[in-house]
Chain A
Amino acid sequence: MELSEHIKTANVEDVTLRRPFHPALRGTLCVTSHHLLFSNRKDEASWQLLILLKNIDAIEKRAVGSSGTITIKCKDLLVLQLEIPGMEECLNIASSIEALSSLESVTEMYPFFYRPSHLTLLGPWGLSTTEQYYKQTERLWDRWRVSKVNSDYSVCPSYPSAVIVPREVDDDKLIRSARFRQGGRFPVLSYCHHSNGMVIMRSSQPLTGANKKRCKEDELLLQAVIDGSELGYIIDLRSAQQAQQARMTGGGFESKSCYRHWKRIHRHHERGKVVQESLIKLVEACSDLSHSVDRWLSKLENSKWLSHVHSALSTAGLVVECVERDGHSVLVHGSEGTDNTLLVSSLAQIILDPASRTVTGFLCLLEREWIQAGHPFQQRCAHSAYSHARLKQECPSFLLLLDCVWQVWRQFPLALEFSEALLLRLAQEVYASNYGTFLCNNEQERCAAGVKENTHCLFQSMLKPDIEEQYLNPLYEPTDLAIWPSVHPQSLQLWTGMFLRWTEYAQNMEEAREEVWSIVKEHRERV
């Protein structure tokens, strides 16, 4: 079925658009294969609103006499209302939106059609590769190597084609270790600390099962990681009880007897559906316009969103403590190793590594630790907070990361080179984008769909000099020190920039940001 067949009514005149904190506008509404376009030409200057259909999370129809109202709830949390004259037109528009906003075929999505004149499809895609990262990181050369054991994605379908592993472990051992790990996600290097050479590894859970199976090669691999030193830490992102239970379904944990030099610490993290529901509850609480403070606080508490922020930052702090303060290497995993594992390992890097706090460094970190590391974006971000659809595999792990980074930025407002605007842009792009960066679930799928050949890369476009400035933090002062965020409940706040994004409040904050910029610019001119 052609996309255009979903469109029964392409144009409606005299539509009224209502947005929060703006006067209502009258104009023409168009539906295309990928966009909803509203334009208002009554005044001399025409004004347009273009929304990617993929950005639409939910729509609600309501009949008022002969006309209909559609409420559009976007994944970036914007809520719009359209009053459409003519019931039939209204229903047609609604059904087009419903069909076209939930396309499942990757190659039908807008990034495959987005061809702006200032970008070219030629040239390398993305910011960096595993090989390049290895080349740049001199600390790794001695004891680590790049393995291409997964070059055809057969060892681990969700890993990139190249991974960094201890030099002394050969590819055969890796294959065996992969068989012993869920989804084949054997332990690979995530980060090597510049000052002491200690590393953060990540993987999925070992498949020890009820019979306490062992895998010699997996044990050797981890032994090689600590390379004769006394101790390494395994940070298991499940409670001890959950890890025990996982054995019943074939999963498990690294037992003390088999991994003698590794000390296991359990930290419970919620995952999947629970976190998605938490986001839904939080957004619901934020759109509650009743005036009861008690109700708001109780809803905020009940959403548990801030509790997830709290756990993520605490565990990341624990990893940093092991690596930086105690000087030990760390292996992080939960179950699949594609969500909380990535969340904790990337947060730890932001706290530890000044390089990941620059705009380029941060985007490289996301590329390495989320895109290439196989966070299943397509599944996790299929729906956001408004959708009524039954939850499948949605989970806002990435949004949680952005929130945590925002918390770090709030506590260390000078230490990050990027601004809140960058985080907000990413929060939007991850759900609906012109670019191919967040398409698919892993590199293998991207390869199959031809994402790199047929779409543009978001990160590359964000780093273009003329665009980058809006993402800069005017107060940035690099520091080499670890930036330990406080995780006292009083120190963590609701990310108002995100969750109150479409309120008047956001405009006041924008004013303040402009003022900061102008002070800094004035100061620089003087110096």
Chain B
Amino acid sequence: MEHIITPKVEHVKLLNKYPEKKSALGTLYLTATHLIYVEQTNNSRAETWVLHHHIMSVEKLPLTAPGCPLLIRCKTFQLLHLLFQKERDCQDVYQSLLHLSQPVKEDELYAFLYTPHQNQEDRRQGWEFISVANDFSRMGLSNEYWEISPLNKNYEICSTYPSILGLPKNASVAVVTGSAKFRSRGRLPVLSYYHKDTKAAICRCSQPLSGLTSRCVEDEQMLQAISQANPNCPFIYVVDTRPKLNAMANRAAGKGYENEDNYSNIRFQFQGIENIHVMRNSLQKLLEVCSMKSPSMSDYLTGLENSGWMRHIKSVMDAGVFLAKAVSEERASVLVHCSDGWDRTAQVCSLACILLDPYYRTIKGLMVLIEKEWISFGHKFSHRCGHLDSDPKEVSPVFTQFLECVWQLSEQFPCVFEFNERYLIEIHNQVYACQYGNFIGNCQKERLDMRLHEKTFSLWPHLLKNQHLYRNPLYRRSLESTVLRPSTLPLHFKFWCGMYNHYDGGMHPKQSVLDQLLSLTQKQVEGERTMTELQRQLAVADGVLPDPSGLISTPTKQDSPCEKTPTAPVVQSNGSCAPLINGDAEEAVPGAEKCNEEEGAES
């Protein structure tokens, strides 16, 4: 709170991206959690809410005649160009936002303030709702080849891995621990996905510490054990997702890649996905293209090409397709790694899972997949998303790229995903929002130490509650058993306008097929519900059923207790009080949530 110097500034202009359009005039509020811009004209008011955590950068531009400009760039790809009358106000807001958008300590994050209407039991159930262990059972594990092992329960073998690991049954503890010592940060080869039909597995790890000549018998035995766990194929693929040059450079630093001579029956492959720094710069360039004022078609296409973004997306997709093909067609197990095995490896393994297993194409399945391959396997969300004021070189859109790959697939296969584009965008927003605890911290152990399960809430139940918004009406369950074989020809990759130009409403189709189909199918569902309800009421009236409420009446709608006007922020003495109103996620207000539920019940 102490960071908010001026909670309210009047007569602030919100400049339109297109100079010919009139800019808005309104009032800017700073609250503990949000920046709120309220545009008030005669009869209408428009509110723009920006979560502080969504702010990527704040930049003061040179003073102009009409006022003091402030440019706010968001991690959700929103761009706000504000114009202040007084330089003093601009400076105050600038200072405040610098602090608010980049908290120093974890417990300053929104999730630690946020309390939805849930009791402790709901909270506990919410956290248990998505379980990686259950997913292993779903795959049919443990079985004769694989076991789900508690070996890492104290995070002693690998501090950034989850507490339970899928390991080949015939790998001894000595082999496991020995292999871990030969892998960067102890990230030994473990099971990511087991394909029941072919008995082939996808395993993941980090690069071996092979340097120029080192070898490790246990690690070689570990790969042997993985190979032996698949009776259908005499070899395994070892996929290094990095470009060969990068992998070779690592050898000089005592790391590197597997020497085919030392490992029996492996087929080694490079996949050529670039590192986090290249990806960060590429996104930067892409966003420059997205924010060009009025580019010609050639400017745009040339910019898109020069950003390299689509090339990187394709490289991730290619690697995912390679894995899925190896497993489903060659019935071969695959071991995947990059350097540390928490960025490219996570992308590629999770993408392969989606291609192979229709379960991960459902609303709940995608949650499980993200929980498994990203959260529990230690994708460093805090660092990659820049939740806290930390090294900017650690930030990279690795997870965004994964979501985009899923989107690209959904464009090629419109009927195989249970969810629509909005689900992916909402997950993306939530990853950066830090409103829920799921994406805070860099690995499971860190989260445990932070006691996130006690102090914050889980995102997944919230998404599930709103799943009607995220449904894909074209989803056909009958197609679900198929392995997806997407084309990775360059012309099949599209620019994701819905994500990177999400806030440029004018660019999107003016009518939405999705909304139309959702409303058609929604009416159907509601119609059925009403019919059942009417039948029940008739039955009650006829005395067939006992009357639970005592009266036959339609539920009355209660007045919404949620407030429409942003009020000045309350000075909060500690982190435990409820946040103020929230515009882009209504349920942040306990009252609003209640009123939503009431509406839901009535319809």
| Interface residues in chain A, defined as those with a beta carbon under 8 Å from any beta carbon in chain B | 285-286, 289, 291-298, 300-301, 304, 306-307, 310, 410-415, 475, 483-484, 486, 488-494, 500, 503-505, 508-509, 511-512, 515-516, 519-520, 522-523, 526
Contacts and interface: CB of A to CB of B under 8 A. Distances in A.
Given A291-B490, A297-B490, A488 B506 contact: yes
B495 A483 contact: no
A43 B414 CA distance: 34
A515 B476 contact: yes
Contacts of A508: 412-415
A219 B494 CA distance: 50
A294 B493 CA distance: 12
A473 to B, nearest CB: 10
B305 A491 contact: no
B517 interface: yes
B297 A489 contact: yes
Interface residues of B, number: 50
Interface in B489-509: 489-495, 497, 501, 504, 506-509
A325 to B, nearest CB: 13
A504 B485 CA distance: 10
Interface in B288-332: 290, 295-302, 304-305, 308, 310-311, 314, 318
B497 A522 contact: no
Given A291-B490, A307-B297, A519-B521, A491 B412 contact: no
B513 A516 contact: yes
A80 to B, nearest CB: 20
A492 B508 CA distance: 10
B5 interface: no
Given A293-B311, A307-B297, A508-B414, A491 B507 contact: yes
Interface centre among B314, B414, B491, B523 (most CB of A within 10 A): B491
Contacts of A295: 490
Contacts of A300: 301, 491
Given A297-B304, A490-B504, 15 more contacts: A291-B489, A291-B490, A301-B305, A307-B297, A413-B512, A489-B300, A490-B300, A490-B495, A490-B501, A491-B508, A505-B412, A508-B412, A508-B413, A516-B513, A523-B524
Given A286-B491, A490-B290, A415 B511 contact: yes
B497 A491 contact: yes
A297 B309 CA distance: 11
Interface in B172-213: none
Nearest to A307: B297
27 contacts: A291-B314, A291-B318, A291-B489, A293-B311, A293-B490, A297-B310, A298-B302, A300-B301, A301-B302, A304-B297, A306-B301, A410-B509, A411-B510, A411-B511, A412-B510, A414-B516, A489-B296, A489-B299, A489-B300, A490-B495, A505-B492, A508-B413, A511-B414, A512-B474, A519-B474, A519-B517, A523-B521
B530 interface: no
A522 B473 CA distance: 13
Given A310-B297, A508-B414, A511-B415, A526 B524 contact: yes
Nearest to B506: A486
Nearest to B314: A293
A292 B491 CA distance: 10
A475 B516 contact: yes
B474 A297 contact: no
A289 B415 contact: no
A159 to B, nearest CB: 34
B494 A493 contact: yes
A180 B509 CA distance: 44
Interface of B: 290, 295-302, 304-305, 308, 310-311, 314, 318, 412-415, 473-474, 476, 487-495, 497, 501, 504, 506-513, 516-517, 520-521, 523-524, 527
A298 B306 CA distance: 9
Nearest to A297: B305
Nearest to A511: B415
A492 B490 contact: no
A291 B319 CA distance: 13
B509 A411 contact: yes
Contact of A488 (B302, B308, B507, B527): B507
For A483, A489, A519, the residue with the greatest tally of chain B CB atoms inside 10 Å of its CB is: A489
A293 B415 contact: no
Contacts of A410: 509
A296 B413 CA distance: 22
Contact of B295 (A291, A412, A489): A489
A21 to B, nearest CB: 10
Given A301-B301, A490-B501, A291 B517 contact: no
Contacts of A415: 511
B513 to A, nearest CB: 5
Nearest to A522: B524
Contact of A413 (B414, B509, B521): B509
Nearest to A494: B491
Contacts of A512: 414-415, 474
Contacts of B495: 490
B162 to A, nearest CB: 35
B301 A489 contact: yes
Contacts of B489: 289, 291, 296
B530 to A, nearest CB: 12
Contact of B507 (A294, A307, A412, A486): A486
Given A490-B507, A508-B412, A519 B520 contact: yes
Given A413-B511, A505-B492, A520-B520, A526 B474 contact: no
B496 to A, nearest CB: 10
Nearest to B307: A297
A5 B337 CA distance: 67
A488 B488 CA distance: 26
B300 A296 contact: no
B491 A296 contact: yes
A39 to B, nearest CB: 31
A526 B511 CA distance: 24
Listed residue (B301, B302, B473, B492) with the most chain A CB atoms within 10 angstroms of its CB: B301
A515 B305 CA distance: 34
Contacts of A500: 491-492
Most buried by A among B290, B494, B506: B506
A463 to B, nearest CB: 25
Interchain residue pairs A-B with the least CB separation, the first 6: A296-B490, A489-B300, A301-B301, A297-B305, A512-B414, A293-B311
A98 to B, nearest CB: 31
Contact of B511 (A310, A412, A519): A412
Contacts of B517: 475, 516, 519
Name, among A285, A304, A512, the residue most crowded by chain B CB atoms within 10 Å (CB to CB).
A512
A490 to B, nearest CB: 5
A79 to B, nearest CB: 15
A516 B509 CA distance: 18
A504 B296 CA distance: 31
Contacts of B493: 293
Contacts of B298: 301, 304, 307
A483 B511 CA distance: 10
